[in-house]
Amino acid sequence: MLVSVKAVTPAGVIVTKDFPRTAQGWDIFRLFAGAEGTLGVITEATLHVFNYAPENTASAAFIFRSFEAAVEAMRTIIQAECGRPHLFRISDPDETDVAFRTSGLDGTLADRALQMLGFKTGSRCLMFVTVEGERDYARFVIRKIKRKARAGKGMYIGTSPVRKWLEQRYSSAYIRDPLMDLGIMTDTLETAVTWENLLKVWKEAHAYVSRRPKAFMMIHISHVYENGANLYFTFLSPMEKGYEKHDFTTFHRGLVETILEHGGSISHHHGVGRVLAPWMEGHLGRSSMELLRAVKKHLDPNNIMNPGGTLGL
């Protein structure tokens, strides 16, 4: 959504223009979009503004018999180019089971009916979709998605699951610190991955976590592209009492390395900061890091902008 910036750096002020598109060398404003404060201070920014008409929003929830089937349906939908959902999300089997339990659906008549139809606990997956925009467009796209989801063996289960999820989507973030205070590590990681590597990263990450006693992880997809998607990991486990910091960092390091080894990126949208900085050079390559350091040295020769290891600089 970023169009242009004004950034104050130790070397001077950088101002980029708000043209819709240009072909004048590098897109300089993108240096600052991903710099995490290491190059200067952004004092002005121009952003795209989108129309918001919630009365036009069209929603749909689906359930699939497996994560693999849900992912294949998602890939087919996004590559069909019939429209782009505003919300397009898959919960893997572990996250889906948690959703059934916390919503009170586990063991109900509806749950038993789904089980009889082959949507089994431990394998079934939820998919949530919303489409924004002009009313006719939103309904056209939802109709297309319903048709393709059914072709992928998904079952439409109405709109209320999407509505309920949207109402509580931010609440889980607030339990992180209380759980850590109780000695339970909980945090999130996310990665970008191509379609060909997505299932491999998903399986290997679960395999890594399963080797730790009393560890649990949920994974979902929340951002989707023609050539791939993101995977978003939420993990929980008791920490070794008296060695919490070492236990956490060791487990976290192993999960990051598992993701990278099997084709994921360091980050999809959270950024790098200090925690993921040690993997930057190995992930991007030496020449790319030398380029980043050269830009940093030019704009911030005395290393006063967010120093301390951010981005591996």
229-279 pLDDT, tens per residue? Answer: 999 999 999 999 999 999 999 999 999 999 999 999 999 999 999 999 999
Do 181 and 235 belong together in one domain? yes
CA distance 209 to 255: 8
Question: What type of residue sits at position 111?
Answer: D
| End-of-domain residue from the set 169, 190, 218 | 169
Do 66 and 156 belong together in one domain? yes
Average pLDDT, the chain: 95
Q: Tell me how many domains the chain contains.
A: 3
- 184 touches 214 (CB < 8 A): no
Do 234 and 281 belong together in one domain? no
Work out the average pLDDT over 130-150.
96
Two tokens, residue 302? 């005395």
Distances (CA, A) of 213 to 73, 153, 187: 34, 35, 17
Is the per-residue pLDDT at 105 higher than 90? no
User: pLDDT tens across 30-84, in order?
Assistant: 999 889 999 999 999 999 998 889 999 999 999 999 999 999 999 999 999 999 9
Is the per-residue pLDDT at 25 higher than 90? no
Question: What residues make up the domain containing 187?
Answer: 172-261
> Is 269 a domain residue?
no
Task: Give pTM, 2 decimals.
Answer: 0.94
Which segment of 21-25, 72-76, 146-150, 230-234 scores lowest on mean pLDDT? 21-25
